Structure 1
Amino acid sequence: MKKYDSIIIDDEPKSVKLLAHFLDQYCPNITVTNTAYSFKDAIQIIQNNTPEIVFIDIYLKEFLAFDILEATKHLNFHIIFISSYDKYAVEAIKYGPVGYLLKPFCIKELVLSVNKAIAKIESEATLKKEEMEIIAIANGDKVKVIKDKDIIFCESSGNYTLFHFNDGSTFLAAKNIGFYEEILPSNMFFRIHRRYIVNLSYIESLYKKDGGYCKLKNDITLTISRRKQEKLQTILNLK
């Protein structure tokens, strides 16, 4: 069974625990990788974990969920709102959620929302596979047209992304790595770390020591974040 990474953001620990329990019982293909109880933690966890689905409470003490979503809008994930109130439902629509769940949770609505999110994820994955092999990357007035297969890996450089090619050349593109994570074919590229997206065909070996890293065919070594190691092994049919 394919698993989908999710996080829960809610300032009520009991609510987090209950939702995690329901997901475990009724949505076995959803993995809760982390939880957050505050605005600051939520931002950090979303950026570091790149979840596919985010369950987020509308009201977090002095902040609203919308503040968090505005701060992470450059990242790609599906939103399921949870709330004790329905008064924010209209404002929530503009964020394109796949669900708006009122507390106490309705199991049927939870499952429907999760299934809707999974359907969207699968649809997006299919579209990515059908994308053309050629993409254009730009920096200022300079635009470089490249083939996907020529990219070894992409490296985050603040709001920019450094592309490394199989001929040894590089190109600094004027968009962040999250943008390219969305447009590069998911069947060919995988984000192994918040800093790196790697072309899977260039991976030569994986190592668990020193925190985990991979060696590419050109002897480049890249760190693999701990939470990405298992998923990468599954993609490479090592598990």
Structure 2
Amino acid sequence: MKIAIVDDEIHCIESLEMDLESLESEHEIVFKTSNPLEALENLPKLKLDILFLDVEMPKLNGFELLDQLHKLNFDVVFTTAYSQYALQAFKNKAFSFLLKPVDVDELAEVLASWETDQKKRSVLLDEIAVKELLEKIKYEGYVKSKIAIPTVNGFEFLKVEEIMYCQSENNYTRIHLQCGEHKLISKTLKDVEKTLTNYMFLRIHQSYLINPKFLKQYHKNDGGYVVMDNGNSLPVSKQKRHLLTEFYDIISRD
């Protein structure tokens, strides 16, 4: 926790330093001054977490100082002997407000609250970063080419274009790949179908979901079945025959 203190009364700076040292929080005072003009020059150059800022100061009060700082990359805790400044402090987006003489317990509460707030911000930033990454991946077409399947140690990424068909095995699904390999995962075919819903896979039977890219033949006789590129024959249920007819109509259009 990197801290700066700006107060025109030197004894107030020293007192706050002593109070901070009495607490168990890990912190470093990287800047302190009794001259607000010096603070105006140096604060933008610092890597800072919290600024303890007095309100009543000659030449430039605390609010005026903040107004002249175009961008704040730190949180502000106002310290003043005058409670009437509290409302104005929070209007200036202060993180907190401490009345002089500063109570050590209240100071500890402010620091603890700041640390809790930082953790929340960190989680939020992580979530935002992940969402931005997913949007970028989606935009670049990566999501359209791969899916993640669970494994014992984590996930394995499969190219959608290499999935020939998926076969239900009770509460599991066996994924058959173009290379002849197959992956058994602990997801139902219904769940896998949801994952592949945007990839034009066809659910031709209660037990089969196929990639039409590998569809070689469709036979209407013998109850209806398809032949895949690897020579395997898969049944087609009566309720799903219209899907193959519609698929044929689509790919036959000019």
Query: Structure 1 length normalisation: TM-score?
Result: 0.52
1:9–1:16 contact (8 Å) kept in structure 2:
yes
Q: Which residue of the partner structure matches residue 65 of structure 1?
A: 62
> Is the aligned partner of 1:23 residue 2:37?
no
1:46 aligns with 2:60: no
Given candidates 33, 57, 80, the residue that maps to 2:77 is 80
In structure 1, C-alpha distance between the alignment counterparts of 2:24 and 2:41, rounded to whole Å: 25
CA RMSD of aligned residues (A): 2.3
Aligned amino acid, residue 14 of structure 2 = K
Go from structure 1 to structure 2 and tell me whether the alpha carbon gap of 1:51 and 1:86 turns closer, same or farther (over 3 Å shift): same
Query: Following TM superposition, by how much is the alpha carbon of 1:9 offset from its aligned partner in structure 2, in angstroms?
Result: 0.6
Structure 2 matches for 1:90-239, cutoff 5 A? Answer: 90-132=87-129
Check conservation: 2:8, 2:36, Cα contact below 8 A: no
Q: Is the 8 Å Cα contact of residues 39 and 68 (structure 1) preserved in structure 2?
A: yes
Structure 2 residue corresponding to 1:10, chosen from 7, 12, 16 = 7
C-alpha change, 1:116 and 1:19, in structure 2 (3 Å) is same
Deviations 1:86-118 (A, max 9, x none): 121111111232321111111111111111122
Please give the alpha-carbon distance, in whole angstroms, between the structure 1 residues aligned to 2:43 and 2:83: 25
Taking the aligned partners of 1:122 and 1:73, their CA distance within structure 2 comes to 26
Count, aligned residues:
136
Aligned to 2:141: none
Residue aligned with 2:67, SS: helix
Task: Give 5+ residue unaligned stretches, structure 2.
Answer: 138-254
* Offset at residue 67 of structure 1 (A): 1.1
What is the alpha-carbon distance in structure 2 between the residues aligned to residue 50 and residue 111 of structure 1? 22
1:51-70 CA-partner distances (Å, limit 9, x unpaired): 11110001111321111112
Q: Is the 8 A contact 1:80 1:101 kept in 2?
A: yes
Any unmatched runs of 5+ in structure 1? 136-144, 148-239
CA distance in 1, matches of 2:90, 2:109: 17
Tell me the SS of whatever aligns to 1:11: coil
Aligned residue for 1:88, secondary structure, equals helix
Q: Percent identity?
A: 21
Q: 1:73 to 1:119 in 2, by over 3 A?
A: farther
The residue that corresponds to 1:56 in the other structure is 53
- Per-residue deviation, 1:39: 2.0
1:162-196 C-alpha deviation (Å, 9 max, x unpaired)? xxxxxxxxxxxxxxxxxxxxxxxxxxxxxxxxxxx
Name the CA distance, whole Å, in 1 between partners of 2:129 and 2:110. Answer: 31
Moved over 6 A (4+): none
- Give the counterpart letter for 2:114 in structure 1: A
SS of residue paired to 1:59: coil
Higher strand share: 1
Whether contact under 8 Å (1:10, 1:37) holds in the other structure is yes
Kindly state the Cα deviation for residue 131 of structure 1 after the two structures are TM-superposed: 1.9
CA contact (8 A) 1:56 1:79 kept: yes
Supply the distance in 2 between the matched residues of 1:72 and 1:124 (Cα, whole angstroms): 23
User: Aligned with 1:130: secondary structure?
Assistant: helix
Q: For the structure 1 residues 68 and 50, does the alpha-carbon distance in structure 2 shift closer, same or farther, using more than 3 Å as the test?
A: farther
- For residues 64-92 of structure 1, what are the alpha-carbon distances to aligned partners after superposition, in whole Å with 9 as ceiling and x for unaligned? 11111122241221111101111211111
